């Protein structure tokens, strides 16, 4: 995916971990909420309220979902789902990773 069509962009950034993860919220014409952002080098822990789909747009990251022992690597074009009321760890070892998060409920 290269772009989203017919969306409303929230100008105020979502800033996490002192700027380690930064995103902007977009609302599609159908009312779907998504965030698009970047993850700097580092390791971060997130919790979820709603189920999510994380698609990696560029770069590479490692992810460990709640309850799993092993990290999995995701590069541009790959993605993963996170259950509602869950958590995941995400790490970027070099450079940046860019992502699109879609809220699935």
Residue 54 falls inside a structural domain: yes
Residue 1 falls inside a structural domain: no
Would you say residue 69 has pLDDT above 80? yes
| Distance between start and end Cα atoms, the chain | 21
Q: What average pLDDT does this structure show over 74-92?
A: 97
**pLDDT tens digits, 8-61:** 999 999 999 999 999 999 999 999 999 999 999 999 999 999 999 999 999 999
State the pLDDT at residue 2.
Answer: 78
The span from the CA of 11 to the CA of 24, in Å, is: 7
Number of structural domains in the chain: 1
CATH for 64: 2.60.120.10
Nearest to 10 by CA among 24, 29, 30: 24
Residue 23 falls inside a structural domain: yes
Domain that holds residue 88: 7-103
State the pLDDT at residue 105.
Answer: 75
Q: What average pLDDT does this structure show over 84-93?
A: 97
Q: What average pLDDT does this structure show over 60-75?
A: 97
């Amino acid at each position: 995916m290269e772009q989203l069509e017919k969306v409303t962009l929230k100008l105020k950034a979502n800033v996490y971990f002192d700027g380690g993860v930064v995103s902007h919220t977009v609302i599609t014409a159908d009312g779907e909420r998504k965030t698009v952002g970047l993850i700097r080098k580092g390791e971060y822990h997130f919790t979820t309220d709603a189920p999510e789909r994380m698609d990696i747009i560029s770069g590479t990251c490692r992810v460990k979902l709640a309850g799993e022992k092993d990290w999995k690597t995701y590069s541009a074009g790959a993605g993963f789902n996170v259950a509602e009321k869950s958590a995941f760890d995400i790490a970027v070892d070099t450079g940046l990773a860019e992502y699109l998060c879609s809220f699935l409920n």
